[in-house]
Structure 1
């Protein structure tokens, strides 16, 4: 099969940069997001640039929707060699105002479903000596109480990457994460989607470090 990547939480910015980078390297692209209108527009934009992609709609907070979308894309791509989990519950909310239920709901989206996606695609990833890539953030190490739940989620993402790297290495599956310190902006001299995508690509190709920070 040809190389392929599924991006969960696809949207403008970092994940688009990753899609374009991997497409240039010969990967087929599968996209998952919850907003079909935006997802279709993104797919059409990539195709117009010479990077054909396919998509399947799913809310990353829904286990059943995710499973259906992953299975759909896996079939249409003819298999999967890389998973990028880029979904996150992005919100500005004081940690003191969170509830147990709200934290658990966010944790499901931020961390637990990253694990679930890897589990769904495990057979393909193992067969293809593939990779699981996770989008991390600087809040994992410098938490801000105004983004309390997201900070907990990014800390969980980093911890999950370390655990899965150790756990899946014997299966030939590489797991790594990019910790993005700063705001992603088009044409930024330090944090453009293209620069960050190149960093993630090198992490993936080298398969030595678990984490790259930028």
Structure 2
């Protein structure tokens, strides 16, 4: 049985926390991104393999899964983390930028989930997790493309969660409703814990992954205390 976890859209933030935690939990971790130079340090740190792949391109996604399967085994856990954002007044948006946002944020999620599900059905088990955002449930002004993409990703997750759960594949969508702490983004001293800690978010992903099948969660929201909802 495969014990491989694939993180698509890997980088230095939440996906790095997920990679470290999954490695600690005994998974063989594969990292995928359009540009893998940024993954060198993390790959060396946790002993993972990195794969160059554009999640919005069918050929890239197919090649990615074939390479991961060949080198590490079919991934039992797949996490979709890419997103692309374009902001601006609605009447001034460039249609090409909107299309790119939808391709990366939503269409790529479909491609990756389909490739993952084909292999997990053969395994007889698996998990497919999607990283959402505030925009998954709230459409903000001058952010229509991002809301469109994240709403679509949430719809994908809900639909295939219902379809694949009876076949022992756990699909879950995570609404990350707030700013995530990073080396360059820290909360002010007068508002401690007002940013989401990426390690804490990763722990929630692991908790959902470890749920018994008779009490699966398909969606969870995470937000700091300062975030209105």
TM-score of the superposed pair, with normalisation by structure 2: 0.84
1:90 maps onto 2:95 in alignment: no
User: Once the two structures are superposed, what CA deviation does each residue of 1:181-212 show, in whole Å capped at 9, x if it has no partner?
Assistant: 11111487351110000111112222511111
Q: CA deviation at 1:2?
A: 4.1
Supply the distance in 2 between the matched residues of 1:93 and 1:34 (Cα, whole angstroms).
25
SS in 2 for 1:116: helix
Q: Distance in 2 between matches of 1:100 and 1:165?
A: 31
Aligned to 2:227: none
Contact 2:208 2:217 in 1 (8 A): yes
1:172 — aligned with what? 168
Cross-structure match for 1:155: 151
Q: Is the 8 A contact 1:55 1:73 kept in 2?
A: no
Query: What residue number does 2:8 align with?
Result: 8
Counting only pairs closer than 5 Å after superposition, residues 199-210 of structure 1 correspond to structure 2 as 199-206=204-211, 208-210=216-218
Q: For structure 1, which runs of at least 5 residues remain unmatched after alignment?
A: none
**Is the CA contact 2:9–2:32 (under 8 Å) kept in the aligned structure 1?**
yes
Superposition pairs of residues 20-35 of structure 1, within 5 angstroms: 20-35=20-35
Q: Equivalent of 1:132, from 110, 128, 131?
A: 128
| In 2, Cα distance between equivalents of 1:25 and 1:96 | 48
List per-residue Cα deviations over 1:167-189 (Å, max 9, x = no partner): 11122111001100111114873
The TM-score, its normalising length taken from structure 1, stands at 0.89
Which structure: larger Rg? 2
User: What SS does the corresponding residue of 1:89 show, helix, strand or coil?
Assistant: coil
CA distance in 1: counterparts of 2:124 and 2:171, whole angstroms: 14
Deviation at 1:137, TM superposition (A): 0.6
Change (3 A) 1:95 1:83: farther
Q: Is the 8 A contact 2:5 2:27 kept in 1?
A: yes
How far off is 1:101 after superposition? 4.2
CA RMSD between the two structures: 1.8
